[in-house]
Chain A
Amino acid sequence: MNIDTGDTAWVLISAALVFIMTPGLAFFYGGMVRSKNVLTTIMQSFFIVALVSVEWLLVGYTMVFGGDVGGFIGDLSKMGLYGIGYNVLEGATIPELAFVAFQCMFAVITPALITGAFAERMKFGAFTLFILLWSVLIYNPMAHWVWGGGFLQELGALDFAGGLVIHILSGVSGLTLCILLGKRRDFGRKAIVPHNLPMTVLGATLLWFGWFGFNAGSALGANALAANAFVTTQAAAAAATLGWVAVEWKCHGKPTVLGAVSGCVAGVGAITPAAGFVAPMPAVIIGFVGGVVCFFAVASLKQRFGYDDALDAFGVHGIGGTWGSLATGLWASLAVNDGGADGLFYGSGDLLVAQIISTAVAYIFAVVGSYVLFRVVSAVMTVRVDADEEIIGLDIAEHGESGYARSTFS
């Protein structure tokens, strides 16, 4: 096929939209931590943009989208983007390089989402090694299984823009890591409250904005499917915000700003796997339920089990992604996307079964993979700051800087 300029323009713009999400995530998370840890939290996301971009161009792209080897991994034929040149992407109307750029941003934001789980206590060196290993050995294979012609794609599992590959994988890895790393010293003993919620709102706004590129760009063309994904994204983000705020208002007496922005992120997370397979009305339901379910995941589930998922990477992304993947099996419809499948509510249970299997695979892979990588990193370096460093804050201890000229009590 030939290159279509409109499609190419849209995918390039979408890549830039997805790029801004990771710095946006840095603000989203940065506002939620205490002021003594604002820089280290922002740095983790910002540094991942650099670290994973280089990894992606060198080996990531070929591991995900190179020739399939036994359904498990891409071969190394496109290492360092070898041979891509100005080729047109197979089965599409855009240059393959546009696809490389677009997918690069996904590879970047996924590990950045994990950082919310282990915020305020991980040493920067161990963080860097863990994220690099995780990107190469967890993200790349999983993305290949779902998008690169691997066995989950063969199974018929649908994941439009990354419910399995991005949200479940990062959320469950985050949960594993926060349990292995242990709680923050003050967790459950002292109030650990967000130091700058307006910054968090700014970050959430950038995430919502960038998500149009994330989901609608995944159509890989400037077409009706992209418009559908655009509308479902807005529908789910909005409905989830309403859902989270409503249930929080009812349970805790007040509608909070942090609740509203958490709801919108839960909603876009939930619609991600479904965005190009479901119609706008199911998207409203998926979003609303996503907002409610994620609220209970962070407000009840976390309290009940007492793990310190500091910024709720699992509660928002893991749970939101899980719900979205299952919901895809309920509401997907061939009328929306003839490249997809009909879900349970449109006459076939096969898709739901494939979604359940692939979700289980993502959970198991994330838990086992993260556990092994954590042990490997622990064997070669210190992963957690010591008590004194945790008290003084990681900005000073790890980076030798302060986020604010004069900090107050926290």
Chain B
Amino acid sequence: MSMTKIEIITRPGKLEELEEALNDIGVLGMTVSQVYGCGLQKGHKEVYRGASYDISLVPKVKIETVVCEIPVEKVLATAERICKTGQVGDGKIFVYELTDAVRIRTGQRGDDAIKDIPGEKKI
């Protein structure tokens, strides 16, 4: 079964809501990073002792997850629903085809490395 990596870069304030919504459609594993970026959204101004600086890199959050059984479109629709405010700065979603994966603990490869192991409880 083909594996797809989905990378969502969005506003930090959306993280918790997005994590819950993804859990609800069965996406239980993800990696979250604090990142900085720029795009259409202009940064903001910070003033220290009267000296003002244009901060062009804006704090964002990056959520990476890999799916095989769950439809990619469902993940995309969920992420869009949660993250869309209609203003610049909502972020981007990137979708990649994956060639392989390894679950380090068991040595399982491909989609077996991604799927939940039947009977194994989530710790």
Give A contacts to B, CB under 8 Å. 191, 193-194, 248, 251-252, 254, 256, 258-259, 262, 295, 298-300, 303, 312, 315, 409
- The answer on a CB contact under 8 Å between B50 and A300 is yes
Digit string of B17-58 for contact with A (CB within 8 Å is 1, else 0)?
000000000000000000010000000001111111111010
Provide the bound-state CA to CA distance between A61 and B18, in Å. 66
Name the B residues within 8 Å of A295 (CB-CB): 49-50
- Closest A residue to B49 by beta carbon equals A298
Name the A residues within 8 Å of B49 (CB-CB): 258-259, 262, 295, 298-299, 312, 315
Number of chain B residues close to chain A: CB under 8 A = 12
- The answer on a CB contact under 8 Å between B50 and A248 is yes
A191, A298, A300: most-surrounded residue (chain B CB, <10 A): A191
Name the B residues within 8 Å of A300 (CB-CB): 50
- The answer on a CB contact under 8 Å between A299 and B51 is yes
- Closest A residue to B47 by beta carbon equals A252
Which of A191, A194, A303, A409 interacts with B50 by CB under 8 Å? A303
Not counting A191-B55, A193-B55, A299-B50, a sample of 9 additional A-B residue pairs whose C-beta atoms are within 8 angstroms of each other reads: A191-B46, A193-B46, A252-B47, A252-B52, A254-B47, A256-B48, A298-B49, A299-B49, A312-B49
CB of B99 to closest CB in A, whole Å: 30
Name the A residues within 8 Å of B36 (CB-CB): 409
Provide the bound-state CA to CA distance between A194 and B47, in Å. 11
Name the B residues within 8 Å of A303 (CB-CB): 50-51
Provide the bound-state CA to CA distance between A388 and B30, in Å. 38
Name the A residues within 8 Å of B55 (CB-CB): 191, 193
- Closest B residue to A247 by beta carbon equals B50
CB of B57 to closest CB in A, whole Å: 8
Digit string of B42-82 for contact with A (CB within 8 Å is 1, else 0)?
00001111111111010000000000000000000000000
CB of A174 to closest CB in B, whole Å: 15
Name the B residues within 8 Å of A191 (CB-CB): 46, 53-55
Provide the bound-state CA to CA distance between A81 and B87, in Å. 71
Provide the bound-state CA to CA distance between A252 and B51, in Å. 10
Ordered nearest first, which 7 A-B pairs have the shortest CB separation? A299-B50, A191-B53, A298-B49, A252-B47, A258-B48, A193-B48, A298-B50
Name the A residues within 8 Å of B50 (CB-CB): 248, 251-252, 295, 298-300, 303
Listed A/B pairs (27) with beta-carbon separation below 8 Å: A191-B46, A193-B46, A193-B48, A193-B53, A193-B55, A194-B48, A248-B50, A251-B50, A252-B50, A252-B52, A254-B47, A256-B47, A256-B48, A258-B48, A258-B49, A259-B49, A262-B49, A295-B49, A298-B50, A299-B50, A299-B51, A300-B50, A303-B50, A303-B51, A312-B49, A409-B36, A409-B57
Provide the bound-state CA to CA distance between A298 and B49, in Å. 6
